[in-house]
Chain A
């Protein structure tokens, strides 16, 4: 690409980010739901199930990282739906018939997704404080936790964008996103994997969400992080590379002429 077309591509991407952020800001319902549901789940786990789950610490301190990942799952589902909406309406035809790189429409949605998730995650953290979450973390720990969560959100948003591209309707995008909401339950987010049936344990112990949860939990509550941070980072980078490649290949296929 020449300098000129790099500048043009950046400008188009900025325009599409602007658009997606504006659309997301005006769709407050979905942000509200993506905050309310995790907060309700947190209340349910802390006040109802939590008493029966022995994690060796105050249950809220154990469960908050998992709730944060659940929150990002809802955010990702919203992203998949927004992308599917564009792909299945006249909008994608309009963008494709303009002399621009229409792939920028996905970048726009991913950026808006990251912004929306940052907001909802922050609000869920505030709610967890109100419910008695007492982290024991230095500024550096917070930075590490936030950085890891951010990387995870970027990777997950690209995955969601890919799902939105293949979905033939907004409804099917929301169905396809189901596993993103389901995966945290098969991790160490809510219960220790040791309490699960033996065939499930290896899956739950090695899936990405477990590593991210363990690392964030370690950073925030002072339990030993061990090598989970390294694994979490590797998983997130891998997921990011895979998701971007997947989204662009699916986009190319869907818009193949």
Chain B
């Protein structure tokens, strides 16, 4: 496991904000830390990126202890924090070159890497403009680019797309996808279920400093039940006829029934045939797939 955390706890004064967090990321995997405001996502990321110490528990990155071997950990990770860390009064190019120099790439090396990253993040045209003239999406892209200067093995992304419009968000997703293809291990936090669903191999749902669910997106969805078909009828007698023939159904509204389904057309066909043979036809039919939203609401209520 390239990232491993065991029983991490953190308190501020009398308030415990992390109450025993365990995480394990295999090399090259993507883990999404999902949770509402104040769940402890940033606190977890700050502990793993050596910025703060846990009160108890331990964590290692690439085998280095985040408390005792912070310098070595810093050599293999990079952090894109929740709030953009870019100099407004430097140009995009200068910001990147500064990190290149701090990473001791040499003037030539820093220049080359800066050029590559500007290109990759679509900032070449804006590279000579001060960052304060950048849009929110450009700023966030530059922020991520600055984290990639030294090609880190493990990247922490704290809410990489919060506040971005759909276009900028999908650009960020592409950039993150590219890192994944290169084999980078990524731990990202997000409040967007769609983002976790799309980017992560594994999702950890955090609430009030505790892990309340952990698994693949599909496993989490299965936890709140599988797919269902909802049927809407015109009248009470029709509903009664339908319940007679269908057996295990849930009443989910006035004149509305919900039936478990495997989501295939064959099953839907079978269902409708069954109803028709019994002399009833639903007015409307809709397939309902549990989303991560259902999981989120069910587990963090």
Instruction: Determine if chain A interacts with chain B.
Output: yes
Contact present for A257 and B70 (CB under 8 Å)? yes
A26 on interface, CB distance cutoff 8 Å: yes
Instruction: Bits for B81-101, please: 1 = Cβ < 8 Å to A, else 0.
Output: 111110101100010001101
Contacts of A257 in B (CB 8 A): 50-53, 67, 70
Contact present for A90 and B90 (CB under 8 Å)? no
Contact present for A98 and B90 (CB under 8 Å)? no
- Using known A-B contacts A90-B83, A257-B50, determine if residue A98 contacts B89 with beta carbons closer than 8 Å: no
- Using known A-B contacts A23-B87, A90-B83, A93-B81, determine if residue A15 contacts B98 with beta carbons closer than 8 Å: yes
A81 to B85, CA, bound (A): 17
Contacts of B81 in A (CB 8 A): 90, 93-94
Q: Which residue of A8, A90, A97 is within 8 Å of B84 (Cβ)?
A: A90
- Using known A-B contacts A15-B101, A15-B102, determine if residue A97 contacts B78 with beta carbons closer than 8 Å: yes
A27 on interface, CB distance cutoff 8 Å: yes
Which A80-125 residues have C-beta < 8 A from chain B? Answer: 89-91, 93-100
A94 to B99, CA, bound (A): 10
Classify the secondary structure of A's interface with B: helix
Contacts of B101 in A (CB 8 A): 11, 15
Instruction: Bits for B227-245, please: 1 = Cβ < 8 Å to A, else 0.
Output: 0000000000000000000
A165 to B102, CA, bound (A): 21
- Using known A-B contacts A11-B101, A91-B85, determine if residue A97 contacts B50 with beta carbons closer than 8 Å: yes
The interface size of chain A toward B, counting residues with CB under 8 Å, comes to 22
Contacts of A96 in B (CB 8 A): 50-51
Which B148-168 residues have C-beta < 8 A from chain A? Answer: none
Q: Which residue of B52, B83, B87, B102 is within 8 Å of A98 (Cβ)?
A: B102
- Using known A-B contacts A22-B90, A22-B94, A94-B146, determine if residue A99 contacts B79 with beta carbons closer than 8 Å: no
Q: Which residue of A8, A19, A23 has the most chain B CB atoms within 10 A of its CB atom?
A: A19
Q: Which residue of B67, B78, B85, B90 is within 8 Å of A23 (Cβ)?
A: B90
Contacts of A94 in B (CB 8 A): 79, 81, 85, 146-147
Which B189-235 residues have C-beta < 8 A from chain A? Answer: none
Q: Which residue of A26, A90, A91 has the most chain B CB atoms within 10 A of its CB atom?
A: A90
In the A-B complex, the 6 residue pairs with the smallest Cβ-Cβ separation, listed nearest first, are A90-B85, A94-B85, A99-B74, A97-B79, A90-B83, A257-B53
**Footprint of A on B, CB under 8 Å?**
46, 49-53, 67, 70-71, 74-75, 77-79, 81-85, 87, 89-90, 94, 98-99, 101-104, 130, 146-147
